[in-house]
Every structure is written in structure tokens, then in C-alpha cells.
Structure 1
Amino acid sequence: MSASLSLLDDAVLRCVVAIRCRVAHAMARADDRGQSTAEYALVMLGAAAVAVMVAKWAKDTDKITQLLDGVVDSILDKLT
């Protein structure tokens, strides 16, 4: 696995953990409903930003094709 892929995986994992923590924290504070809504909107914007970065990365590299080819080849090797 390349270093850039590892860094991307680490960044995505950190973002997902941060999103889950913020959502759980927002849900725990039922009395701050307006603030929870604003935080939820910010979390969704953050998730959308990560999705855009991943989509751009996937478009600019051939990693997705290599990954899918590897998966299909592995399955075919196990079947034959």
C-alpha cells in the first residue's frame, strides 16, 4: 500500500470518528436542539468535503480500477 493511500485512509478514518463523536455528543444534549441542528449541518458539510476529496482522488488515480481488478482476480483464482 502506498504512503498516500495510507495517509488518505488515516484522514478518512479520523474524519469518520470525529463525525460519529460529534453526532453522539449532539444527541446527548437534547436541550440544545438548535445548536445540535447547526452541528449536524456542519458535520454533513464535512462529510461532503471528504466525499469530494475521495471522488477527486479516485478520478485522478487508477487505484479503484486496480483494487477491483485485484478483487475479481482473487475470487477467480479461488474458484479455479
Structure 2
Amino acid sequence: MSFIRPLWIAVWVRATTFLRREEGQTTAEYALVILAAAAIAVVLIAWARSSGKLPAFFDHIIDTVIGNADAA
């Protein structure tokens, strides 16, 4: 029974050391994902504005919602 406590402490110390080492890496990964999502959003917005598809898309959505509301 006396060997369980030191073993538990060793496991806890090793786990917390590992987690502290990975903290900065996780933050950097989140930052890269956010930057990639922002870049994709900028490209999609630029395409939608230049092609004129955005107003037609929203008109279609509004017409569909109104059509569904009238049917109910």
C-alpha cells in the first residue's frame, strides 16, 4: 500500500509537466485554424461580391422562408 502513493505522485507530476509543455502549442494551433478560417471567409466574401450572387442568394432565402410561412 505504501508504494501506491509515490506512484500516484509520480504519475501526477509527469502528467502536469506534459500538459504544461503542450499549452503553447495548442494556442498556436488554434491561432492557425482561426487565421485559415478568416482567409477562407475573405475569399468567399470577395467572390460573392464580385459575382453578384450574394443578393440573389439572400432573395432566394427570404422567398423560401415566406413561402414556408404562407404554407403553414
TM-score bracket for this pair, using the shorter chain length: 0.5 to 0.7
Deviation at 1:40, TM superposition (A): 0.7
Gaps of 5+ in 2: 1-17
Q: Which has the larger radius of gyration?
A: 2
Question: For 1:33-69, what per-residue CA distance to the aligned partner results, in whole angstroms no more than 9, with x for missing partners?
Answer: 1100111111111011011101101111111111122
SS, match of residue 32 in structure 1: helix
Where relative contact order (Cα < 8 A, 6+ residues apart) is larger, the structure is: 1
How many residues end up aligned between the 2 structures?
Answer: 52
Amino acid of the structure 2 residue aligned with 1:55: I
2:48 equivalent among 17, 39, 58: 58
Unaligned runs of 5+ in 1: 1-28
Superposed CA RMSD:
2.2
Shift of 1:74: 3.5
The CA deviation at 1:77 is 4.5
**Matched residues, percent identical?**
38
Give the number of the structure whose residues are more often helix, by fraction: 2
TM-score, L = length of structure 1: 0.51
